[in-house]
Structure 1
Amino acid sequence: MLAALALLLGLPLALTADPPGCAPLLTVTLDNATVPGLLGQWIYIAGASRYEPHLAELRAVKHAVFSFSPGSHEDELNVTEIMRLNETCVVRNTSKILIFWHNSTLAHVDDQIFSTAKLIQNDKDLLIMKHLNPSSPGLSLSARTPNVTKEQMEEFKAHLHCLGLTEEDVFFTSEKDACPLPGEKMGEDDAEPQSG
């Protein structure tokens, strides 16, 4: 079972030509100015893919919060994830993000699973990831808060269209399914978090 971040970085992307009327998706150059902007907490809002192995995972993630912190090397970020997969809350802090500076690619490494993505972001509070896989398109949306603006959602939808995906391909999470964060009191409907 892949964590929410694995969904973010593991969803594939077709490296085919953009549909007519779409400009190429511009990705962020990762450098010493942009990477610190990734640090901190993010809320996973939505993901889209047509890659069959990931569809069950997209359906299973009901809510996810993840955070990036500096790793032990300059080309590495630590990841902590708290997510509800169907009815179970899971906490994971065993995965890493590797930064490939030469081509501005992020790679998620978790339990010998290696997946890559590029960041599409023109807003410091929005994280849109284009997932790299030659066989199927994929895109994910995360934000600093559980709510995104209409303009931010329109930007995500425009990227979906340019990758040949539709709104029917999108799986959204729900704030009502949030797991308690460490130190928060759990309601009677919340499942006990499990370490993964």
Structure 2
Amino acid sequence: MLASLTLLLGLPLALTTEPPTCTPLVPVTFDSDTIPRLLGAWIYITGASKYPPHLEELKAVKYAIFSLLPGSHEDELNVLEVMRMNETCMTRNTSKIQVFRENSTLMHVDENVTSTAQLIQNDKGFLILNHSNGNFPGLSYSARTLNVSKEYLEEFRAQLHCLGFTDEEMFFTSEKYACPLPGEKTDEGDTESQLGN
């Protein structure tokens, strides 16, 4: 009887120490509504990558906002990025995203550098991208607003843990490093310069 009672009392503790269930990343199936839903401004919140060039960039990005704009044809998007890399604010409008509907893949082309990702289904209106560069996993999380709940961030953190990332490999941006948007005045009264024009 005592052994049974000990087993029953210990069971809830054992159940709570198991690792969280990892939900699979399911790519969005592109349809006629997919691209219009992507258009507009997004704030980059967090990401992780094992791909060395992306890892270096993640370490340097302190804040980033980007806009996806219609391109020259229906399967192309123009990208306007405003970001703080370490201590420097910069604006770039030279990159494009090619859309491959047949395999729900997005390819970001910035000068001579390309990277691919799949848009991941979610019911919360976030832009979650599963980056694929060789055998190096990567995941990024962007939102329409900075007001993302801790609950959603914890869900994303859990998903990164499922992919084998540690907390030290996750990089978060902060609003305190926000850069002025193109044409906005800085505190010193100067207009922020725009790079890549």
Using the size of structure 1 for normalisation, the TM-score is 0.82
- Cα distance, 1:85–1:189 mapped onto 2, change above 3 Å: farther
Tell me how far apart the structure 2 counterparts of residues 190 and 153 of structure 1 sit (CA, whole Å): 36
Encode CA deviations 1:74-123: one digit per residue, 9 max, x unaligned. 11111100111111111111111000000000000111211100111414
In terms of Rg, which structure is larger? Answer: 2
How many residues get paired?
A: 178
How many Å apart are 1:20 and its aligned residue?
9.2
CA RMSD of aligned residues (A): 2.2
The aligned residue for residue 48 of structure 1 is: 48
The aligned residue for residue 180 of structure 1 is: 180
- Cα distance, 1:121–1:192 mapped onto 2, change above 3 Å: same
% of aligned pairs identical?
66
- 1:147-158 alignment, distance < 5 Å: 147-158=147-158
CA contact (8 A) 2:96 2:110 kept: yes
Identify which range, 159-168 or 73-82, moves more after superposition: 159-168
Tell me how far apart the structure 2 counterparts of residues 42 and 117 of structure 1 sit (CA, whole Å): 16
Q: What secondary structure sits across from 1:73 in the alignment?
A: coil
Using the size of structure 2 for normalisation, the TM-score is 0.82
Q: Which runs of 5+ in 2 are unaligned?
A: 1-18
Tell me how far apart the structure 1 counterparts of residues 114 and 33 of structure 2 sit (CA, whole Å): 25
- Cα distance, 1:96–1:71 mapped onto 2, change above 3 Å: same
Encode CA deviations 1:158-191: one digit per residue, 9 max, x unaligned. 3212211122210111101111012322124999
- Cα distance, 1:126–1:189 mapped onto 2, change above 3 Å: farther
Tell me how far apart the structure 2 counterparts of residues 105 and 37 of structure 1 sit (CA, whole Å): 15
Q: What letter is aligned with 2:133? A: N
Runs of at least 4 residues off by over 3 Å: 188-194
The aligned residue for residue 96 of structure 1 is: 96
Encode CA deviations 1:129-157: one digit per residue, 9 max, x unaligned. 11012322211111101121123212212
Q: Which runs of 5+ in 1 are unaligned?
A: 1-18
